[in-house]
Amino acid sequence: MPKLSDPEREPEVVMVRKKLPIGIQTFAKIRQENCYYVDKTPFVARLAEDGGYYFLSRPRRFGKSLFLDTLAEAFAANRALFTGLYLENHWDWEKRHPVVRISFASGQLQSRAELEARIWEQLHNTAAQLGVTSSKETIVGFFEDIIIGAAERFGERTVVLVDEYDKPILDNLTHPEIAAEMREGLRNLYSVLKGRDADLRFVFLTGVSKFSKVSLFSGLNNLRDITLSEEFSAICGYTEDDLDTVFAPEFAAAAAEGTPLPRQQVRDWYNGYRWGSETSVYNPFDVLLLFAEREFRAWWFETATPRFLVQWLARHHFYTPQLERLYASEQLLSAFDVEHIEPEALLWQTGYLTLTGVHDYDGVKEYQLGVPNREVRMALNEALQQAWLPSRPRQSLGEIFRILRAGDAAALHEHFQRLYTSIPTDWYRKSPIAQYEGYFASVFYSHLASLGLPMTAEDTSLQGRLDLMLRAGSTVWLFEFKVVDGDAPTGEALAQLIGRDYAAKYRAAPEVTQLLQVGVEFSASRRQIVGWEVA
């Protein structure tokens, strides 16, 4: 089998438009209704060839369910669906395996009883579809009988596919006691898999979060986590090549109809997700909605505003400039459980941060995380801004863009003065968000980040770390923040900017026509900017 990154043959670009499979997670429907389909079947062949038990974590609406359905059709030997795809000539179509599918993707379960009722419903339906029976009265016993009975009836070992394995837990994270009950119920279900190796051909579980094996898969030591495997980094999502080939007709049609979609703008908005390799992918939901509506919007983000995430970040006093640059070990990224959630793990697993770099220190890997694209930067920080501030800024978006592009430091100072003045004094007393030192800088960052302009926080150089860099056209702004105890500015913020010469790396850039260094000092007692010095 060829390497997954090396296609067997160069794909042909056929300029015939097809249906956009928006919201379609059924492989058969996509193939039978002449929809666009990015061929992910080389990954199916590789996984099946190696065999075993797999786990894959990806954010919501990234194509996990469609890939799971593709696996199901392949193991069920439905060859006609794969005509013209890689798998057509790289699969043993004589073998038809029984497939057990369990999904928690739909609805919201709010108790252990509801979870068990959902499990029983799916197990009974599966038993009927596969033509097997069981007299067992426990979930574990009934599930085991399905696996064993199906293998005996079909003469081939059983395949188990679980979609959104963790959703019952995630839906209840704001109620830890219920989430813990859900975890125990799911652990009971998944415990069946560790003892039925002789009857199982293939097991694949997908979800958003990566709960520790100890908490949810105790004893399932052969579960291979491919979330950060380089060879499977593009198993979900669309690559740049996919847009150049499969979706070329959509770009051509948009241009011909007077609504062109500039490729660089498409990249800036929707590309940038990485898992374990340099290959970045687009969110499929974003791409399909972009082609359908010919409008740049936060399509993915708008499908489910992360209220829990915003509340959680506020409650834990998260310093939002860190969204641009965080560092974490693989162990930290996996540190996710009901009683213990690290912000890096939560943001990465839900898709609001992605891998921007991997550093290897004598075999020990450290992952650099950052915001993947303009959509996430704008939409997440707009949501954060609404939580950080009791009321929205009144100044128009166009005016703020003009100020930043023109390098009008005085107007920007006035804008932020009005912004902080608009926060009622009583709100500081009642809101826990305002009770931590990083609040002022977090408001400053999230307000600017919601504009979607290129920016870097904690920008590292030989001289140290610059708090924030923002680029507006050919104008570059450099900000350093300080919180002072009294009412008077100290001048330390600008002095640090100049003393460490953070501007050196930007001063020589030919595309930069204007460079401003701004020292910003916040008074904890006055709750206002008391120092604003510009160089």
User: Left, alpha or beta for 171 (phi > 0: left; psi -120 to 50: alpha)?
Assistant: alpha
CATH number at 27-232: 3.40.50
DSSP 465-504: EEEEEEEETTEEEEEEEEEESSSS--SHHHHHHHHTTTTH
Q: What is the chain's length?
A: 535
Flag the least confident range among 29-43, 98-112, 191-205, 421-435. Answer: 421-435
pTM: 0.88
**pLDDT reported for residue 480:** 93
**pLDDT reported for residue 13:** 56
* Strand residue runs (E) in 371-415: none
**pLDDT reported for residue 495:** 94
**pLDDT reported for residue 8:** 47
The domain segmentation of the chain, as residue ranges, is 27-232, 307-534
Flag the least confident range among 141-145, 293-297, 345-349. Answer: 345-349
- Phi, psi (5° rounding) for residue 412? -70, -40
Q: Hey, how many other C-beta atoms are within 10 angstroms of the C-beta on 80?
A: 11
DSSP code at position 181? H
The residue-averaged pLDDT of 426-441 equals: 72
Q: Is the pLDDT of residue 443 over 50?
A: yes
- More confident of the two residues 324 and 476: 476
**pLDDT reported for residue 72:** 98
- Phi, psi (5° rounding) for residue 517? -110, 125
DSSP 86-99: GGGGSS-TT----E
How many whole angstroms separate alpha carbon 501 and alpha carbon 199?
65
